[in-house]
Amino acid sequence: MKKPTGRLEGNDLVLTRRFEAPIEDVWTSLTKSESTARWYGSWTGTPGTGNTIKVKLLFEQGAPESEAHIDACEPPRRLALSTTGQWGVKLELTLTQTGSVTELRFVHHLDDRKLARDMGPGWEYYLDNLVAARAGEKLPTFEEYYPSMQAHYTDD
């Protein structure tokens, strides 16, 4: 069983991952469609602040497609996206490099912190997919995260 790493800060679900890689390389993993397809989903459209892209979620049942508005795109440090619909989300990804290590700070701005119970395990899974894809390793299975991590993200 995987160990959860995320935490709640108010209504924000925060997860971090560190990579022994230059910031530009990690940025590419987060923003280039060929790279995002390896761990999350592919996308089409024109990148850049204010634009809307279509994302195909390759690791979800039926590989659904959704639209994401690019709220901010500040290469290679910050990307903010929002989606609408049943699973409308506001995400912010920030990269910082210290020496040879780049840290990803992933924030899902939740409308209700109780949503972390389901969203936390999902983002743990996707971010571990990112780590595995970058390392050329086998991707984890969602069953390693859900439902076992729900308790970590549940307010008592």
pLDDT in tens, 97-148: 999 999 999 999 999 999 999 999 999 999 999 999 999 999 999 999 999 9
Q: Is 55 helix (H, G, I), strand (E, B) or coil?
A: strand
> How do residues 117-126 score in pLDDT, each as one tens digit?
999 999 999 9
Q: How far is CA 28 from the centre of its chain?
A: 14
Question: What's the average model confidence in pLDDT over 42-70?
Answer: 93
Q: Is the peptide bond before 64 cis (omega within 30 degrees of 0)?
A: no
Taken in order of first residue, the domains within the chain and their CATH numbers are: 7-150 (3.30.530.20)
d(CA 153, CA 142): 16
Q: 3-12, 86-95, 98-107, 130-139: lowest mean pLDDT where?
A: 86-95
**29 contacts 49 by C-beta, under 8 angstroms:** no
- For 127, the enclosing helix (H) or strand (E) is helix 116-135
d(CA 55, CA 40): 9
CB atoms within 10 A of CB 11: 14
pTM to 2 decimals?
0.94
Residue 31 or 155, more confident? 31
